[in-house]
Structure 1
Amino acid sequence: MMLVEQTTVPSAALPVEEFKDHLRLGSGFSDGGVQDAVLEGYLRSSLAAIEARTGKVLLARSFGWTLTGWRELGRQALPVAPVTEIAEVKIVDRHGQETVVAPETYRLQMDSQRPKLVSTGRHLPLIPMHGQAEVSFVAGFGPGWADIPADLGQAVFLLGAHYYENRSAVLAGEVPMPFGVSLLIDRYRTVRLFGEGAR
């Protein structure tokens, strides 16, 4: 299984000015936004860390997911949430020949924890031996920062501030997840039973 982010979070969607306020950085000086790129980097890092820990995509973007077999014949749990759209499903054989699956043969079962690709018939399209399925979908709470649940947004700010204040440790890769951040994100973490969605 391989999940690839096909579009990235645009810089305009990141609340750099609000993050400055959170850090209580001085304002009114003619720094020309010198620190903006650095602060954006910390926001992106903390956003990625929160998404990885929770399995939730905070800001909407497109993903491509490749897998070699369905976990169940009639449905397949998707690797992240919330998913808002299944854009395309393709079956690729061992020779690289692609077949686009008719959209009417499947649907998205929305769920805040484990959204699923579900067959509208008896089963999802068969994946040939040594072939794969490629699922393109859109996931995220929304395109703007205001679309993110307040507690997850606060967790991103807290973790970003932690990275900012411990810059030398960040460079060495030694910064653990702060306890306060863990408390904020715990209820969003997906509990996977019996390996559901493992493929």
Structure 2
Amino acid sequence: MLLIEETAPTAEALPVAQLRAHLRLGSGFGLADDEAESAALAGFLRAAIATIEGRTGKVLLTRRFVMRLDDWRDRLGQTLPLAPVIAVERIEIEDGQGTVTELPAESWRLIGDLQRPMILPAGVILPHVPRLGSVAVTFMAGFGDSWDRVPADLAQAVLMLAAQFYEDRSSGAAKSALPFGVSALIERWRAVRTLAGRGAVREGR
């Protein structure tokens, strides 16, 4: 499977002001409100968001993704790797010879489950993917375009993690384990994800 993020959260959607307030309350440091500092805080927030999304499979701020597979994992229904899925914009099958065919929207439907969103066939099974071909699913996922649409526990986890990144910025220490408080906040959102094409996960083709 190859998952491509086609769009990124806008700078305006990032909770820079909330992180600045969190840092003042948490550490007592007075932070100058300037462009360089805001850019740095935005960077810590993006890193924290990416980490939380990677651990939970939940997209916090809405954006577009493309999932490419060698084949459906199960022609009775294909699970999507991220949630919540707002809409599937299109599904295309490439035949291995360069010809791309878009599936009619009436030939499939989206089940927008918060843990395991799926594409189901309108009929019995999803269309055949040629042996040397591939399938691409373009979809929109996320809780919303603005930070106030993000669930409170996930939003707090991001602020806590971004604050730690900020406070550890000069130490150079790489930490793979999340702080206990962050782990506790995201625990209920975590889901086991199993997804691949023709039985193997691939980084590219």
Using structure 2 for the length normalisation, give the TM-score.
Answer: 0.90
For residue 107 of structure 2, what is the aligned residue in structure 1? 105
Is contact 1:84–1:140 with CA below 8 Å preserved after alignment?
yes
Supply the RMSD in Å over aligned alpha carbons: 1.4
* CA–CA distance in structure 2, aligned partners of residues 53 and 140 of structure 1: 15
Change beyond 3 A, Cα 1:73–1:175: closer
What is the CA-CA distance between 1:26 and the residue it aligns to?
2.4
CA distance in 1, matches of 2:66, 2:81: 11
Correspondence list, 1:87-102, <5 A: 87-102=89-104
Alignment of 1:179 with 2:183, yes or no, is no
Q: Which residue of 2 aligns with 1:7?
A: 7
The CA distance in 1 between the partners of 2:186 and 2:94, in whole Å, is 37
Q: Please give the residue correspondences for 1:84-163 in structure 2 after superposition, counting only pairs within 5 Å.
A: 84-163=86-165
Aligned to 1:16: 16
User: Which 4+ residue blocks in structure 1 deviate beyond 2 angstroms?
Assistant: 31-34, 171-176, 196-199
Amino acid at match of 1:41: G
What SS does structure 1 have at the residue aligned with 2:39? helix
Q: Distance in 1 between matches of 2:190 and 2:88?
A: 23
Deviations 1:36-75 (A, max 9, x none): 0000000000000000000000000000000011121121
Per the normalisation by structure 1, the TM-score is 0.92
Look up the equivalent residue of 2:186 and give its one-letter code.
I
Aligned counterparts of 1:175 and 1:115: Cα–Cα separation in 2: 28
Distance in 1 (CA, whole Å) between partners of 2:65 and 2:120 is: 18
The percent of aligned pairs where both chains have the same amino acid is 46
> Equivalent of 1:26, from 11, 24, 30?
30
CA contact (8 A) 1:163 1:175 kept: no
Q: Partners in 2 of 1:175 and 1:76 — Cα distance?
A: 31
Deviation at 1:142, TM superposition (A): 0.7
Q: CA deviation at 1:172?
A: 4.6
Residue 190 of structure 1 is matched in structure 2 by 191
> Which 5+ residue runs of structure 2 have no aligned equivalent?
198-205
> For the Cα contact (< 8 Å) 1:166–1:175, is it kept in 2?
no
Structure 1 segments unaligned to the other structure (5+ residues)? none
State the distance in 1 between where 2:163 and 2:30 align: 15
Q: Deviations over 1:143-181 (max 9, x none)?
A: 110110000000000000011111134x45335311110
Residues 84 and 138 of structure 1 are in contact (CA less than 8 Å); yes or no, is this contact kept in structure 2?
Answer: yes
Number of residue-to-residue matches in the alignment:
193
Does structure 1 retain, via aligned residues, the 8 Å contact 2:69–2:196? no
